[in-house]
Structure 1
Amino acid sequence: MGEPRPRISAASTDDSFSTQTSSTPPLAQPPPRHPVSLVQPSQKKKTKVKVFRVFRSVFRSFPIITPVCKIPVLPTGLPDGHRGSSGSKVTGTLFGYRKGRVSFSMQENPRCLPSLVVELAMQTNVLQKELSAGMVRIALECEKKADKAERVRLVEEPVWTMYCNGKKNGYAVKREATEEDLNVMEVLKAVSMGAGVLPGNSDADGPDAEIAYMRAHFDRVVGSRDSETLYMLSPEGNNGPELSIFLVRI
């Protein structure tokens, strides 16, 4: 038996990350688990941050000189319809059973292990309908802790209040990547951008279960320690759905 291949369709279709469902025999077995060959994300960025902190500590010892002119502060956000890249590019994948909760995975690239997996407070089929309308804004909010020393990195926050297009949906939860999450990322390792379905676990979700997915490049813009934004980058000339994910600590 050959390995299951993802069926890929354009992200600009009406049902943004779904394709025509194929029937499966009632006694079909769960798809085989693929050996995980994903690698750890690179540590280059962390090294640069450490070097920057060393230089910053050195320059803090210098006398303060008032500049003749002031450099304007660049805005942390980007306007609607953003298509360019002003931050680091990452791979983002939305996936889940059609009647189950959708998850979002962030990777440095498709060959790396996920650096973030968040289970969103929304069913996959509901998000598909929202994306078919053309524009989706997901906001994930969490509260600041009183003690700054205990404040973790923004992407390490465990629980988020989720809003989709201004409506509160419930609570999103950060989790460690499960075996099924890693199996999905492994199957999609060769996919840099696209949408389709994968065979699901028939024992868990019925014989006709399929996992819908949508994968794209995202521009990750860090506004501050308490705010990050992920803007989905569409291919040139593609009028597909617009998706932005805002992570905010307030």
Structure 2
Amino acid sequence: MTMQIKMQQNKTNSYNEVSTERPRIERERERRGRQSTGPADDRHLYLYGHRKARITVAVQENPRSVPVLILELGIPTATFMQDMGSGLLRIALECEKKPDKSKLIDEPLWTAFANGKKIGYASKREASSIDLKIMQMLHAVSMGAGVLPADMTDPNDGELTYMRAHFDRVINSKDSETFYMLNPDGNSGPELSMFFIRI
């Protein structure tokens, strides 16, 4: 049975549900591409978490695939969403180079920065049944943000909020990748970039 998603209403921030308009997304992808040094491909990102708990980032290659990356950031969800409301958020994730030749996104632990400020660490983990349930609930949401139904609320950590968007993944080198959020409204909405770097 499909579960209805309760969307946030009358919020002052700028990341409410937006319609998916492919021509605008393509123009945004072209604009991003001119700023990039490597090839880009489309990824689906989920950002979700209880308001007082750490936010989770999940990456899918397509809406029906299992997530290729589940990452917990060392920042409360409410703080992350508040920073998104400022209009520009850059997340930098750094780790040390190692002798092995693992893929960049397979690194287990990262030092995390938000707009240049260290926010602690980010850790990779396996997808749980809760992660998969959230993605299933949000399957019909192409882009937007909101609050999941009340039965997902935690009595201590509060409501479970989410944001879903399309991102371009740009592979700059084997030690550097960037995810750019594609905004269908051009430059009028929030911008989010995530940088993965081995140093």
TM-score tier by shorter-chain length is 0.7 to 0.9
- 1:220/1:9 Cα in 2 relative to 1: closer, same or farther (>3 Å)? farther
Query: Between the two proteins, what is the percent identity of the paired residues?
Result: 48
- Residues in 1 aligned to 2:190 and 2:139: alpha-carbon distance in whole angstroms: 23
Whose strand proportion is higher, 1 or 2? Answer: 2
1:189 aligns with 2:123: no
Runs of 5+ in structure 2 lacking a partner? 18-28, 34-38
RMSD, aligned α-carbons: 2.6
TM-score of the two chains, using structure 2 as the length reference? 0.82
Match of 2:149 among 199, 209, 212: 199
Match of residue 101, structure 2, among 147, 151, 172:
151
Does the 8 Å CA contact 1:82/1:231 hold for their aligned counterparts?
no
Q: CA 1:93–1:17 in 2, change beyond 3 Å: closer, same or farther? A: farther
Partner SS for 1:205: coil
Q: Distance in 1 between matches of 2:150 and 2:127?
A: 16
Distance in 1, Cα, partners of 2:182 & 2:7: 18
Q: 1:176 maps to which residue?
A: 126
Q: Which structure has the larger Rg?
A: 1
Q: Residue 171 of structure 1 aligns to which amino acid in structure 2?
A: Y
Alignment partner, residue 124 of structure 1: 77
TM-score if structure 1 supplies the norm length?
Answer: 0.66
**Kept in 1: contact 2:16–2:145 (CA 8 A):** yes
* 8 Å CA contact 1:141, 1:248 repeated in 2: yes
- Give aligned pairs, total: 182
Judged with a 3 Å threshold, the aligned counterparts in structure 2 of structure 1 residues 144 and 126 are, in CA distance, closer, same or farther, namely same
Q: Give yes or no for the alignment of 1:14 onto 2:13.
A: yes
Q: For structure 1, which segment, 165-174 or 206-215, has the greater mean C-alpha deviation from structure 2 after superposition?
A: 206-215
Equivalent residue, structure 2, for 1:235: 184
Q: Indicate if the aligned counterparts of 1:17 and 1:213 stay in contact, CA closer than 8 A.
A: no
